[in-house]
């Protein structure tokens, strides 16, 4: 009985973010892009933070398939010196 009571308690809790969750759609899926190209630096810069870290799917809104391709493309672009590893 205790787990049921906890579940009811959680559902009645109110907070600042009680509205419906808006899902972001993947930019690559919307544009019908099959493969992410490491030479397209403008596209990759949106997925890299100011410190040079690859942003997560939760932040960018990309799907799992394209996020893996973005990570690989960013790593390749870094190796080719198209993107910096980190900023100082």
Domains in the chain (CATH in brackets) are 25-88 (4.10.640.10)
63 compared with 11, residue with greater pLDDT: 63
pLDDT, averaged across the chain: 84
Q: Which of 56, 55, 52 is nearest to 85 (CA)?
A: 52
Residue 67's contacts (CB-CB under 8 Å, 6 or more residues apart) are 56, 57, 60
8 compared with 73, residue with greater pLDDT: 73
Mean pLDDT over 17-40 rounds to 85
Residue 1, number of CB atoms within 10 A of its CB: 5
Residue 73, number of CB atoms within 10 A of its CB: 24
User: How much is the pLDDT for 69?
Assistant: 97
Contact criterion met (CB below 8 Å) for 38 and 73:
yes
**pLDDT at 74 > cutoff 90:** yes
User: How much is the pLDDT for 3?
Assistant: 57
């Amino acid at each position: 009985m205790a787990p049921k009571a906890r579940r009811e308690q959680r559902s009645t809790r109110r907070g600042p973010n009680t509205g419906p969750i808006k899902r972001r759609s993947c930019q690559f899926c919307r544009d019908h892009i099959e493969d992410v190209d490491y030479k397209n630096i403008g596209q990759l810069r949106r997925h890299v933070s100011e410190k040079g870290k690859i942003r997560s799917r939760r932040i960018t809104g990309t799907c799992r398939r394209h996020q893996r391709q973005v990570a690989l493309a960013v790593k390749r672009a870094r190796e080719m010196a198209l993107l910096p590893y980190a900023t100082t």
